[in-house]
Amino acid sequence: MANWFITGVSRGLGLALAEAVLDAGDSVIGTTRSGGTPETLRGRAIEIHALDMVDVDRTKEVVEKVFSEGTRVDFLVNNAGYGLLGSVESSTDAELEHLFDVDVFAPIRIVRTALPYLRAQGASHIVNITSVAGRAPGVGTALYASAKHALEGFSVALAAEVKHLGIGVTAIAPGQFRTDFLSTGSARFSATADDAYRLTVGAALDTLGKANHQQLGDPKAAARVILDTLKSDNPPLQLVLGSDALRRIRGRIKETLGELEAWEAVSIKTDYVQ
């Protein structure tokens, strides 16, 4: 039986993952902002800690409390997060800081606090839920994309840093999943400024608004895939979830490679002549 630490189990992907983990006979230490236990998780092998990811002291306290009780964590999943959508020009410092606090700094703090305990355990797996926006960003998501790119980069470098300690790392980039993610209670929308962005950011936000609760991705299917993949012999460093995300990320990689090759002769001009 494995033990999972999962942030943001109140709803959405985190809740679906916690349910799947419990159904599989594993146990969960989950966090919710309110400290409440979602109805479908009550009476099961789950312990809930109240955690708002913007609370720096509390973040450290929760992680230390979990491990100080001698608990083993086999899978540590940074799931809690949200999207900030809108134009860069109209975003505020407060919006930007809040986004990075929740989507980047808190997951890094959680990992940093957990690492000494995970090292002592000998084997564990860290999972960061990123986004298709972190690998193939679309218009209107520049700030959210920058946060999720940060988490992707963090994951890739961290994996190389901790592999020899028996700690695995996987960054999981979901496409559009049918959760509350695009609802006003989750996503935050910076203004689209003026008419200058009507046809770009404005149009993209209209499309995203129409996709709310109609998304292609099934959170329960995602949860099963995450569970099975992480328990497989050799989990990937970067996993994509959803055919929409796969198409977009494949396209971005092809563009990146094409540009890299087209500009290769320029790129190599900066080396010292040997």
Ligand X SMILES: NC(=O)c1ccc[n+]([C@@H]2O[C@H](COP(=O)([O-])OP(=O)(O)OC[C@H]3O[C@@H](n4cnc5c(N)ncnc54)[C@H](OP(=O)(O)O)[C@@H]3O)[C@@H](O)[C@H]2O)c1
Which positions are catalytic? 144
Q: Supply the minimum distance, in Å, between the C-beta of residue 66 and ligand X.
A: 16
Q: Give the list of residues 6+ apart from residue 98 with CB closer than 8 angstroms, or none.
A: 54, 84, 188
DSSP code, position 192: -
**Residue 203 binds ligand X (CB under 6 A):** no
Residues 6+ apart with CB under 8 A from 230: 75, 125, 127, 170
Pairing of strands 124-129, 188-189: unpaired
Query: Would you say 80 or 239 has its CB closer to ligand X?
Result: 80
Q: How far apart are CA 268 and CA 36, in angstroms?
A: 56
Q: Is 238 strand, coil or helix? A: strand
Q: Tell me which of 6, 17, 28, 129 binds ligand X, using CB under 6 A.
A: 129
Q: Which amino acid is at 59?
A: T
Give dist(CA 248, CA 231) in Å, integer.
Answer: 27
Q: How far apart are CA 81 and CA 129, in angstroms?
A: 8
| Interaction of residue 141 with ligand X, rule CB under 6 A | no
Beta strands per DSSP E along the chain: 3-7, 27-32, 46-50, 75-78, 84-85, 124-129, 167-174, 188-189, 238-241
- Contact between 12 and ligand X per CB under 6 A: yes
Piece of 21-29, 115-123, 152-160, 178-186 that binds ligand X (CB under 6 A):
178-186
Q: Which of 54, 108, 139, 237 binds ligand X (CB under 6 A)?
A: 54
DSSP 135: T
Q: Which stretch binds ligand X (CB under 6 A): 17-25, 57-65, 156-164, 169-177?
A: 169-177
Q: Is the distance from CB of 50 to CB of 35 less than 8 angstroms? A: yes
- Determine if 146 is a binding residue for ligand X (CB under 6 A): no
Stretch that binds ligand X, among 64-72, 171-179, 224-232, 253-261 (CB under 6 A): 171-179
Q: Please identify, using beta-carbon distances, which residue of 44 and 72 lies nearer to ligand X.
A: 44
Rounded to a whole number of angstroms, the minimum distance from the CB of residue 51 to ligand X is 6
Question: How far is Cα 149 from Cα 157, in angstroms, rounded to an integer?
Answer: 12
- Give, as one character, the DSSP assignment of residue 36: P
By CB under 6 A, residue 174 contacts ligand X: yes
Which residues in the 56-85 window bind ligand X by CB under 6 A? 79-83
Q: Which stretch binds ligand X (CB under 6 A): 38-46, 50-58, 110-118, 161-169?
A: 50-58
Total of chain residues touching ligand X, rule CB under 6 A: 28
**Nearest partner of 119 among 76, 81, 86, judged by Cα:** 76
Q: Is 10 in the site for ligand X (CB under 6 A)?
A: yes
140 touches ligand X (CB under 6 A): no
> Which positions lie near ligand X, rule CB under 6 A?
8, 10-14, 32-33, 51-54, 79-83, 102, 129, 131, 174, 176-177, 179-181, 186, 215
